[in-house]
Amino acid sequence: MTNDLPGARRRSPRVPVHLSGSLSGRSRRAVTIADVSLTGCLVRCDSLLDHGAILDLTTELDGEPFAAKVRVTGASVDGAPASTSDGRCLAGLDFLSLPPLQAARLRRFIEQERQRKRGADPIPE
């Protein structure tokens, strides 16, 4: 029960995050954003998303609202039956034509997260 996640063909590096958000189309569903890049993100949700579906993603970046139109590029179940309701489904999302202001905010957020995560790494002796 899987639609292949395109992990082998990443166009830009992803940064691990833990952000609450929502996807809306015909209905609204809560998601957790697990990683993000300039071209897309990986989300956890309670049910499989349809491959190719175009949805609206909303979340917050540094306390400010962020919204993007996304396309589902792949979906899979993360080690549990598809009927679970505990965020075990994964979906890869591509951002579709981000407005310049949103793209700039996303770029700043990703750079800040990279710097923050580098600062958290222990310095080798």
Write down the pLDDT at residue 74. 94
pLDDT per residue rounded down to tens, the chain (125 residues): 344 444 445 567 899 999 999 999 989 999 999 999 999 999 999 989 999 999 999 999 989 999 999 999 999 987 654 444 555 899 999 999 899 999 999 999 999 999 988 875 555 55
CATH number of the domain encompassing residue 59: 2.40.10.220
User: Which range of residues forms the domain containing residue 53?
Assistant: 12-118
Q: How far is CA 103 from the centre of its chain?
A: 14
- From 118, 110, 98, select the one nearest 19 (Cα to Cα): 110
Asked whether residue 87 is assigned to any structural domain, the reply reads: yes
Write down the pLDDT at residue 124. 53
Asked whether residue 75 is assigned to any structural domain, the reply reads: yes
Asked whether residue 123 is assigned to any structural domain, the reply reads: no
Write down the pLDDT at residue 50. 94
Write down the pLDDT at residue 121. 52
